[in-house]
Amino acid sequence: MRLLPTAALIASLLAIPSARAQELTGTLKKIKDGKVVTLGYRESSIPFSYVTKAGDPIGYSIDLCNAVVDEVSKEFEGVEIAVKYKKVTSETRIPAVRSGEVDLECGSTTANFERKKEVSFSPVFFVAGTKLLVARSSGISSYRDLRDKTVVVTAGTTNEAAVRAISDKQHLGIKFLVGNDHAQSFDMLKEGKADAFATDDVLLYGLVATTKSGDLYHVVGDYLSYDPYGLMYRKDDSDFAAVVDRTFTRLAQSRELVQLYNKWFQQRLPSGEILDLPMSPQLEEIFRVEGVPD
């Protein structure tokens, strides 16, 4: 039987296994071969990525990562993929992703130019900026009040560079302490070892909301940096990047992206606190560009 050219082409395509099935590479191949995807989580990046009293990772970023896992599972029909969680810190997160120890980092990581030289990022899902957390009794209301004072920052974050730049430009003589994670940095402030804790504003609000003595502290000052957040994965992995981007498009077009934001920033957290942080105009516009309908 003679086939028309178009029909013959269709028949030949149907007879050939998909390129995806034949040529899995990078992260997708690693996940399928091992039947497990490893997600990096943080212990105290509230409400993005933190742990319950039982030690289970939860948060806005964790939910987004699990949505990516669901999309990955669609790539492997009939193959059950397990989820493994691996704790990372601000210092270990990039090495963990690059080495393959973690497939997708679910935290509060700024997608900046320097980091994009080493890793790749999902579409932006939050916009934060460096601010200061201080005791209400401190008399500090902005960086201008930090002359010759001590600021604690968390190791491996972009916030130290932002505060150092201000200190150098304004000749403030700020001294620095470094905490291993956000919880330890906050402890240094509470113990009086530092006069201010500098990190992304939303993380400060989360720490204050979930701390018994939170009423004694408040977030002050102007934004000292611009920090768009993305989920982090290995660089030069176009197949996995396509899955991540497709996940965000689906979440945006269904408005689930907005629903997840409201779940973690407008409603009560599992521990009972509420951040009550409306979505910023900048993030609203970013979500519209990503596909959220008006």
* pTM for the whole structure: 0.88
Question: Is residue 206 located within the same domain as residue 138?
Answer: yes
What pLDDT score does 24 carry? 86
Question: Is residue 103 located within the same domain as residue 31?
Answer: yes
Q: What is the mean pLDDT of residues 74-101?
A: 95
Question: Is residue 186 located within the same domain as residue 160?
Answer: yes
Distance CA 49, CA 63 (A): 9
Question: Is residue 118 located within the same domain as residue 153?
Answer: no
Domain that holds residue 269: 24-127+228-290
What pLDDT score does 7 carry? 46
Question: Is residue 92 located within the same domain as residue 30?
Answer: yes
Pull the structure tokens for residue 40. Answer: 């990096």
Percent of the chain topping pLDDT 90: 88
Domain boundary (199, 225, 251) is at 225
What pLDDT score does 3 carry? 43
Question: Is residue 140 located within the same domain as residue 270?
Answer: no
Per-residue pLDDT at 13 exceeds 80: no
Question: Is residue 53 located within the same domain as residue 197?
Answer: no
Question: Is residue 54 located within the same domain as residue 199?
Answer: no
Structural domain includes residue 18: no
85-106: burial string, b at 16+ Cβ within 10 Å, e else: bbbbbbebbbebbeeeebbbbb
Domain boundary (177, 208, 225) is at 225
Single out the residue of 20, 19, 2 nearest to residue 11, CA to CA: 2
Q: What is the mean pLDDT of residues 218-228?
A: 96
192-229: burial string, b at 16+ Cβ within 10 Å, e else: eebbbbbbbbbbbbbbbbbbeeeeebbbbbeebbebbb
CATH number for the domain harbouring residue 233 = 3.40.190.10
What pLDDT score does 33 carry? 94
Per-residue pLDDT at 56 exceeds 60: yes
Q: What is the mean pLDDT of residues 262-280?
A: 95
Structural domain includes residue 55: yes
pLDDT band at 11 (very low <50, low <70, confident <90, very high): very low
pLDDT tens-digit readout, 144-184: 999 999 999 999 999 999 999 999 999 999 999 999 999 99
